[in-house]
Amino acid sequence: MPGEVKLSADEHKKVSADAKKGEMLTEKELEAIATRLNHAIDLPLLKEGTEQIIFVKIVKLIDGFLYGVLPNEIYELVHAASDGISEQDAVLIEENLTKLVNRKLDLPFLNERTEGTIFRVVIGTIVRAMLKGRSLKGG
């Protein structure tokens, strides 16, 4: 068994700062994922601009949830094309996160089918960005 590992003062500061941040995605990334949703899903009775606002809010909600359940060292991979997870890990993470988000978050103004589609699109986009050689910024 390895010896005790202690964090440095700088590492403790980073952990504290990470805990206060609350979200990983930039405004541009939120908007891009919301646009992907807007192309995939039609919310009846709403104009496209209103749909986009709702989808940005939904993506922001999911981002905040993922930020709370994923260690930043993993979630940060959405911005790190040089590092990343394998395709096999992506499938497992995507499946587990989609189930977890579907259990923990509820979008009461949508039916379960539409809600499930939203969760799959958002989480699939985020997890695919964690693949080695990919990122939300560049891929």
Residue 139 has what pLDDT? 44
Q: Determine the pLDDT at residue 43.
A: 85
First to last CA, the chain: 40
Contact 107, 54 (CB under 8 A): no
d(CA 41, CA 131): 25
Please list, in sequence order, all residues whose beta carbon lies within 8 angstroms of the beta carbon of residue 139, skipping any fewer than 6 positions away: 81, 129, 133
The closest alpha carbon to 38, from 138, 130, 125, 135, belongs to 125
| DSSP code of residue 78 | G
Q: Are 21 and 39 in contact (CB under 8 A)?
A: no
Task: Please list the rounded mean pLDDT of every run of 10 residues in the chain (139 residues).
Answer: 75 69 89 94 84 95 94 88 89 96 93 94 95 76
User: CA 139, CA 130: separation in Å to the nearest integer?
Assistant: 10
**H-type alpha helices, the chain:** 9-21, 27-40, 48-69, 72-75, 87-104, 112-129
Give dist(CA 58, CA 119) in Å, integer.
Answer: 9
What distance in Å separates the CA atoms of residue 96 and residue 110, rounded to the nearest whole number? 22
